[in-house]
Structure 1
C-alpha cells in the first residue's frame, strides 16, 4: 500500500504578495514618482512664487498691519508736509512729487522690515529654506506681495495728494506707469536687501542705511516723471519711466540669481 505524505504548512509567516491584475511585479513600476530637480513633478518657479505671495498676503489680511499702521503713517507724513509748507503757496505745489515719493520710501522701509520679521522666529525661515521651493520663486513671491501692498498705499496717497495738495492728475497714464515701474524697482531692491539684513540683530536700524541709498535713483526718476505728469508735459516724463523700468529689471534679475545664497546666509 503506497504511503501518502502530508504536506506540512509553510513555516514562514510571510504571506505571498497579491498583485492586482494587469500590474507589473517590477519594483520600478511600484516606486512613487520622485521630486528631484529633473522631475516634471517638481513645482515650477511661478507656482512657488504664487505660494509665497499668497502666504504673505493672507498673513497681512489677517493681521491688518498695512491698513492699521503703515497706511495711517503714510497719510500722516503727507499731512505733516502740508502743515510744514504753506498750503496756498507755490512751494507745496512744486514739492508735491518729491513729498509723495519720500512718503512712499518711508512706507517701504516699514513694509520690508515687516515682511521679513514674520519669519524671524520659531524657525520659520529655516522651514522656508528647507521646504524645497525654488529660491527664485521665493524671491518673486515676496517681491510680489510687497509690491501689492505698496501699490495699495500709493493709491491712497494719490487721493491724499489731490485732497490735501489740490493737484490735478492731468496725465494718468504716465502716473500709473511710473507708479508700477517704481514699485517694481522698490519691491525688488527691498526684498533683496531685506533678506540681507534679516539675519542681523540690528536689522531694524541697519535696513534704512542699506536700502535708502540704493533707492535714490528711484526717488529721482519717479519724482521727475511725476513732475512732468502733474505739470501737463508727459513727454518729459517718459525717459524717466524708462530709467525706472531698467532699474526694476536689473534688481529683479539680481534678486532671482542671488536670493538663494543670501537666504542661506541669513
Structure 2
C-alpha cells in the first residue's frame, strides 16, 4: 500500500476508536461547552463586548479542546505500544503523521461547528450569507494547521514522562498565529465590529501558509522525532 492508503487506514482507525469510546461527546464537548458558558457569565454584563470577543472565545475553547484530543489519541498509541509497532513494521512515518492529522482534523471540524452554533445561541452572534465562504475557508485552513501542530507535538511528547504538562507548553505557543489569524478572519466573516469580508482573506492566507508549513515540516520531522 502507498502512503495515502496507509494514512486513510490510520485515520479510519482513530475515528473508529473515537466512535466507540465517545471521548469527544462525553468529555471534549462538555468541556468546551462549559468553557463557553463560563465566558458568557463572565461577560454577561455587557452584551456588546460579548459579541465582539465571541470569535476569539470560540478559538480559545477549540485550542483547549485540542490538547485533550491530542493527549487522548497518542495515549492510546503509547499505552498499547501501537506507535512503536507500526515503526518496527516499517510503516512510513509520513503516512502515520498524515493519518493521525486527518483523524484529528475531522474531530476538530465537528467541534468548531458546534462551538460556532453555541456562540450564536449564547452570545447572540449572527452568520452573514456573504461571509459564508470566508467562514468555511477559515475553518478548513485553521483546522489543518491545528491538526498538523497537534500531531507533530503530540508525537514528540508521547515518548516523555509528564507529557500531560509538556504538550501544552509545546503546542500553545506554536498555535498562537492560528488563534490570531482565525479570530480576525471569523470576525470579518461575521461582520463583528463592522469588519468587512474582504479584510478576512489576508488572514486566511496566513492560515494557509501556516498549515502548509507545519504539514510539510511535520511530515518530514515526525519520523525522527518519534524514533528518538
Q: Normalising TM by the smaller chain, what interval?
A: over 0.9
Pairing 1:20-59 to 2, within 5 Å after superposition: 43-59=1-17
Once the 2 structures are TM-superposed, how far is the Cα of residue 87 of structure 1 from its aligned partner? 5.8
Once the 2 structures are TM-superposed, how far is the Cα of residue 246 of structure 1 from its aligned partner? 0.3
**Which deviations, in whole Å up to 9, do the C-alpha atoms of 1:158-212 show, x marking residues without a partner?**
1101111111111111111101100000000110011111101110011001000
The alpha-carbon distance between structure 1 residues 87 and 55, as it changes in their structure 2 partners (threshold 3 A), is: farther
Once the 2 structures are TM-superposed, how far is the Cα of residue 131 of structure 1 from its aligned partner? 2.5
The separation in 2 between residues aligned to 1:126 and 1:88, in whole angstroms, is 52
After TM superposition, the structure 1 stretch with the greater mean CA deviation from structure 2, 117-126 or 157-166, is 117-126
Q: 2:223 maps to which residue? A: 260
**Which deviations, in whole Å up to 9, do the C-alpha atoms of 1:91-130 show, x marking residues without a partner?**
1011111111100100111111111000112322221212
Question: After the TM superposition, which parts of structure 1 deviate over 4 Å for at least 4 consecutive aligned residues?
Answer: none
Q: 1:193 aligns with which of 146, 149, 153?
A: 153
Q: 1:220 maps to which residue? A: 180
The separation in 1 between residues aligned to 2:204 and 2:136, in whole angstroms, is 10
Q: 2:203 maps to which residue? A: 240
After TM superposition, the structure 1 stretch with the greater mean CA deviation from structure 2, 144-153 or 125-134, is 125-134
The separation in 2 between residues aligned to 1:95 and 1:108, in whole angstroms, is 20
CA contact (8 A) 1:87 1:165 kept: no
Q: 1:70 maps to which residue? A: 28
The separation in 1 between residues aligned to 2:214 and 2:63, in whole angstroms, is 17
Q: What is the TM-score of this pair, normalised by structure 2? A: 0.95
CA contact (8 A) 2:145 2:211 kept: yes
Gaps of 5+ in 2: none
**Aligned-residue CA RMSD (Å):** 1.1
More helix by share: 2
Q: 2:135 maps to which residue? A: 175
The separation in 2 between residues aligned to 1:161 and 1:172, in whole angstroms, is 16
Q: 1:108 aligns with which of 51, 57, 66?
A: 66
Q: 1:160 aligns with which of 118, 125, 141?
A: 118
The separation in 1 between residues aligned to 2:7 and 2:226, in whole angstroms, is 15
CA contact (8 A) 2:47 2:123 kept: no
1:61 maps to 2:19: yes
Q: Give the total of aligned pairs.
A: 223
Q: What is the TM-score of this pair, normalised by structure 1? A: 0.82
Q: Larger Rg: 1 or 2?
A: 1
Q: 1:83 maps to which residue? A: 41
Q: 1:150 aligns with which of 89, 108, 114?
A: 108
Higher normalized contact order (CA 8 Å, seq sep 6+, divided by chain length):
2
The separation in 1 between residues aligned to 2:79 and 2:11, in whole angstroms, is 19
Q: 1:19 maps to which residue? A: none
**Which deviations, in whole Å up to 9, do the C-alpha atoms of 1:146-167 show, x marking residues without a partner?**
0000001111111101111111
